[in-house]
Amino acid sequence: KMRIAVIGQSLFGQEVYKELRKDGHTIVGVFTIPDKDGKADPLATQAEKDGVPVFKFPRWRVKGQAIPEVVDQYTRTGAELNVLPFCSQFIPMEVINHPKHGSIIYHPSLLPRHRGASAINWTLIHGDKKGGFTVFWADDGLDTGPILLQRECDVEPNDTVNTIYKRFLFPEGVKGTVEAVKLIAEGNAPKITQPAEGATYECIQKKDNAKIDWNQSAEALHNWIRGNDKVPGAWAEVDGQQKVTFYGSSLVDNGAAARGQPLEIPGASRPAMVTKSGLVLFGNDGKSLLVKNLQFEDGKMIAAAQYFSSGSSAAVELTEEEQSFAEQMRAVWHSILSNASQIEDSTDFFKAGAASMDVVRLVEEVKLRASNCQLQNEDVYMNTTFQDFIQMCVRKLRGEDGEEELVVDYVEKNINHMTIRMPHQLFIDGEFVDAEGGKTYKTINPTDGLPICEVSLAQISDVDKAVAAAKEAFEDGEWGKMNPRDRGRLIYRCCADLMEEHQEELATIEAIDSGAVYTLALKTHVGMSIQTFRYFAGWCDKIQGSTIPINQARPNRNLTFTKKEPIGVCAIVIPWNYPLMMLAWKTAACLAAGNTVVLKPAQVTPLTALKFAELAARAGLPKGVVNILPGSGALVGQRLSDHPHVRKLGFTGSTEIGKHIMKSCAVSVKKVSLELGGKSPLIIFSDCDMDKAVRMGMSSVFFNKGENCIAAGRLFVEETIHDQFVKKVVEEVKKMKIGDPLDRSTDHGPQNHKAHLEKLVEYCQTGVREGATLVCGGKQVQRAGFFFEPTVFTDVRDDMHIAREESFGPVMIISKFKSGEVDEVLRRANDTEYGLASGVFTRDISKALYVSEKLNAGTVFINTYNKTDVAAPFGGFKQSGFGKDLGHEALNEYLKTKAVTIEY
């Protein structure tokens, strides 16, 4: 072990110092910079805490000559090695060469490339594909000495100085510096002469030489801006010659099509565009880049999207409660800015001595005092004075935090003792917009057959815009960067609390758009949707992988672990029987996993999906996370199936369409889950609770007008109770009230749409032609709207069309089976290509469990039916599809598994 002098500063220096002590080396002295604004450097703070001698020399030499007193204090420490982990001062050679083992320095580049103090900047400015760090032996050339150790990493296309430093140059640099010391201690440290080939030395990046030259490609402009982010900041004269500094650059694919307000920039090949996503800039090659933030000469920073609106909003007057919050935050500022005698409204956070770590602390302090005020670090950088900071926090608490106001062209109706307000346009990237070409169609109220409103009809170009918005939100937006717990809170608020606040309005819209009985819509269509979002919001921070023992090739050892990661942009295509609930079942799991969504509701029932989009946007769901596209399956559904940027498609609907979607997804190689048709058997044994079997048997068929994917498509009733069962069912059917779904006494509302009603009529006519006994019903009700009588068939043979094909309506198909023939009735029940759900009624638990084991379906109900729950997985077998909605298993449909193996 060695006696080491650590010469440097910052958290980097502190971490190297701690690791060297942990390795058993003696730190004989720490040489760092003087206190700044009364605050010691982190390296000094740690050393003083450990009782290690600390020296805070303002300088080591004057006019190129070493200061004797400084050198004397250094030499008295008896250091055998100098370690310079992050040193910004010029150290004289009398100090560099004094120790027995000399001096080693950390440098944030792959020497000899990018010698100099702005090495990280120039790695990015040059567009290098590889970056890294070097530990080298110090000499009088500062960074020209022999190389001891180097490590490299990939430079990502949108890396900044900050991201590459935090991802690699800092954590790996600490390890590399400590490893270099270990090599010296063991006598194995190399001294590799730096080659002359590839050596560069660029000037230190200062504000004066960071001006942007616009006569370059978009990639070169991007590299220049990110290479100077955040210090010193690339700048240009814009709009009347005011100097503006650009931060947060990324390359974009579709900048040429950006919608926004033009901004003149002298020297640029074309005007920039201020868009809702930021400032789009153009290179001389016609390609584009996006800048997120701008800073003016007075130091004020704004979101680039707000360039034309900055400064236009008046200060808000604080309520008594908000004033109390402001005073709490004034105390927090004072505790952070300990050198400030008091915190005035004009106090600037950074000019008063705050550093980047203080920003993190401030953000967390706000969360402790106001959990619904979720700040990002950028919010502090853009509101540096206390007054601006408080105004920003208060606006966020009020939901007025500078976001563009959501503009909704409502269709309003006074109905069900309330005024309902329905969006009717496409919802793309946080905005309600018309479809390409202004195309629309009429959505029909099934109760009276009359139009409710004109709805925008999405075109292929609209699908492409929505997918692009979802892709940007996933890859570059706030959603992709949000930690899982915050994402869960947002889902809970956006997609559960706000839906609950509007549950009567949502249920009313569901009733007039899909014909659902209002009370059922309130309890199930809306109620279960809220429960689903709440359930999956709780999963957001519990998604995890596992560690796996693997065979180890000695002498090396290995560790393998898995990570569950979001897939990306997911398309969801849902049916018309439960428009809102089907949205919730799939979207909740999709969002909880961290994905973004493009959803196509059924063309005949789009309105609750669009209302959901409005509520989610108003509650703060980031733009592009959810996009809603009413339109045809042949056009919109097909494009989503084919789109190369859609990574997963979840579909609920008919088996026929499901097969077509699966073929399309196979061509584009995307993950797919299908919840398709059903012909679910319900077996009723003679030892059942008869009253319950009748009640639940009716519910199994007539629930939600029979428009229910798990509806019992065929009842098998033991012969000894068959006639009694049929008699009781018919008695109850005749009591059912058919009528207006908004009437609270209605049991059975209209069928969803005209085409389906016509299919039901044909279905029943086929049953009669085949010789089944029509006990009751079977006809269209003669009134306005799409009403159909609850229907019961008996004497149904296994080969009949109605015994094999799904009605998706209020049609009960009853067959009898002989007593004691359990295996035979199971054979008949399983003799179908479907396998979604099934049921059995019996008091014999052994028989119930035997039957549940033998039934070939994804869900089995025993002595109940339709009892779905948000925690129970739901999905079918065979031609009823594959994949699960609901429960923990549903998350796996929207996650990918990555295996990581480490050798050590």
Average pLDDT over residues 811-838: 97
Q: Which are the contacts of 185, defined by CB distance < 8 A and separation ≥ 6?
A: 1, 2, 25
Query: What's the confidence (pLDDT) of residue 519?
Result: 96
Q: What is the CATH number of the domain that holds 774?
A: 3.40.309.10
Percent of the chain with pLDDT over 70: 97
Among 373, 495, 590, 709, the one annotated catalytic: 709
Q: Is 107 a catalytic residue?
A: yes
Number of domains in the chain: 5
Alpha carbons 38 and 51: distance in angstroms, whole number: 20
Q: How confident is the model at residue 254 (pLDDT cuts 50, 70, 90)?
A: low
Query: 130 pLDDT exceeds 60?
Result: yes
* Cα–Cα distance measured from residue 199 to residue 126, given in angstroms and rounded to the nearest whole number: 14
Which residue blocks in 680-810 are alpha helix, DSSP H? 690-702, 719-735, 754-770, 801-804
What are 440's strand-pairing partners? 456
Say which range, 20-24, 69-73, 479-483, has the weakest mean pLDDT: 479-483
Give the pLDDT confidence score for residue 307 in this predicted structure.
83
> How big is the chain, counted in residues?
904
User: Distance (Å, rounded) from C-alpha 892 to C-alpha 885?
Assistant: 10
Average pLDDT over residues 170-184: 96
Q: Which residue has the higher pLDDT, 884 or 364?
A: 884
Does residue 405 surpass a pLDDT of 80? no
Please identify, among 675, 698, 733, the residue that sits at the C-terminal boundary of a domain: 675
In angstroms, rounded to a whole number, what is the distance separating the alpha carbons of residues 879 and 367? 50
Task: Provide the domain limits for residue 165.
Answer: 3-186
Per-residue pLDDT, averaged over 159-187, amounts to 93
Considering the domain architecture, whether residues 463 and 515 belong to the same structural domain is answered as yes
The band of 404, judged by pLDDT with boundaries at 50, 70 and 90, is low
Higher-confidence residue: 697 or 351? 697
Confidence at 241, pLDDT banded by 50, 70, 90 = low
Contact 628, 601 (CB under 8 A): yes
Residue 693: per-residue pLDDT: 98
* Domain CATH number, residue 328: 1.10.1200.10
In a domain, residue 741? The reply is yes
Please state the φ and ψ torsions of residue 699, each to the nearest 5 degrees. Answer: -65, -35
Tell me: do 538 and 486 sit in the same domain: yes
User: Any idea what the CATH number is for the domain that residue 419 is in?
Assistant: 3.40.605.10
Q: 610 and 472: one domain?
A: yes
Burial, 876: exposed, middle or buried (Cβ in 10 Å; 0-12, 13-18, 19+)? buried
Rg over alpha carbons for the chain, rounded to the nearest Å, is: 35
Please tell me whether residues 792 and 747 are part of one structural domain.
yes
Q: Which residues, at least 6 apart from 186, have a Cβ–Cβ distance to it below 8 Å? A: none
Mean local confidence (pLDDT), 564-589: 98
pTM of the model: 0.65
Query: Other CB atoms closer than 10 Å to residue 504's CB: what's the count?
Result: 16
pLDDT confidence of residue 312: 46
669 and 721 inside one domain: no
**Of 697 and 383, the one with more pLDDT:** 697
User: Per DSSP, what are the bridge partners of residue 834?
Assistant: 878
842: left (phi over 0), alpha (psi -120 to 50) or beta: beta
Q: How many CA atoms lie within 13 A of 315 on its CB side?
A: 9
Mean pLDDT of 263-291: 90
727 phi and psi, to 5 degrees?
-60, -45
- Summarize pLDDT for 496-553 with one digit per residue, the tens: 888 999 999 999 999 999 999 999 999 999 999 999 999 999 999 999 999 998 887 6
Q: Parallel, antiparallel, or unpaired: how do β-strands 881-882 and 61-62 relate?
A: unpaired
Last residue of a domain, one of 374, 398, 422: 398
825 vs 718: CA distance, rounded Å: 9
Q: Report the pLDDT value the prediction gives residue 663, as an integer from 0 to 100.
A: 95
Residue 393 a catalytic site member: no
User: Among the options 505, 675, 789, 893, which is catalytic?
Assistant: 675
List residues forming the annotated binding site for NADP(+): 574-576, 600-603, 633-638, 653-654, 759, 806-808
Q: Is 709 a catalytic residue?
A: yes
Report the C-alpha gap between 323 and 308 in whole angstroms.
30
Give the residues across from 262 on adjacent strands.
Answer: 273
- 603 found inside a domain: yes
For residues 516 and 436, membership in a common domain is answered with yes
Bridge partners (DSSP) listed for residue 224:
none
Least confident stretch, 172-186, 289-303, 540-554: 289-303
d(CA 821, CA 738): 38
Which residue numbers belong to the known binding site? 89-91, 143, 574-576, 600-603, 633-638, 653-654, 759, 806-808
User: Based on the domain organization, do 439 and 392 belong to the same domain?
Assistant: no
Q: Give 559's strand partners.
A: 902
C-alpha of 146 from chain center: 47
**Same domain membership, residue 639 and residue 614:** yes
Co-location of 614 and 631 in the same domain: yes
Residue 421 in this model has a pLDDT that exceeds 80: yes
Q: Does 553 reside within a domain?
A: yes
Q: Which residues define the annotated binding site for (6R)-10-formyltetrahydrofolate?
A: 89-91, 143
Q: Do 361 and 249 reside in the same domain of the chain? A: no
Q: According to the model, what pLDDT value does residue 553 have?
A: 66
244 near 225, Cβ under 8 Å?
no
Asked whether residue 70 falls in the same domain as residue 84, the answer is yes
Residue 380: pLDDT band by 50, 70, 90 thresholds? confident
The residue from 293, 312, 331 where one domain ends is: 312
CATH number at residue 241: 3.10.25.10
**pLDDT, tens digit, 9 for 90 and up, residues 852-865:** 999 999 999 999 99
Catalytic annotation, pick one of 98, 101, 107, 525: 107
- 201 vs 797 pLDDT, higher one: 797
Region 689-715 average pLDDT: 97
Q: Is residue 202 part of a domain?
A: no
Tell me the average pLDDT of the chain.
92
Considering the domain boundaries, does residue 341 fall inside one?
yes
| pLDDT tens-digit readout, 634-665 | 999 999 999 999 999 999 999 999 999 999 99
Nearest to 279 by CA among 308, 242, 243: 308
Confidence band of 382 (pLDDT split at 50, 70, 90): confident
33 part of a folded domain? yes
Provide mean pLDDT across the span 472-488. 87
Within this chain, do residues 386 and 502 fall inside the same structural domain, yes or no? no
pLDDT at 482 over 90: no
pLDDT at 64: 86
Q: Is there a domain that residue 856 lies in?
A: yes
Residue 872 DSSP symbol: S
> Is the pLDDT assigned to residue 376 strictly greater than 90?
no
Please enumerate in sequence order all residues whose Cβ is within 8 A of that of 738, keeping only pairs 6 or more positions apart, or say none. Answer: 746, 747, 748, 749, 781, 787, 789, 790
Q: Is residue 195 part of a domain?
A: no
The C-alpha atoms of residue 133 and residue 513 are separated, in whole angstroms, by 63
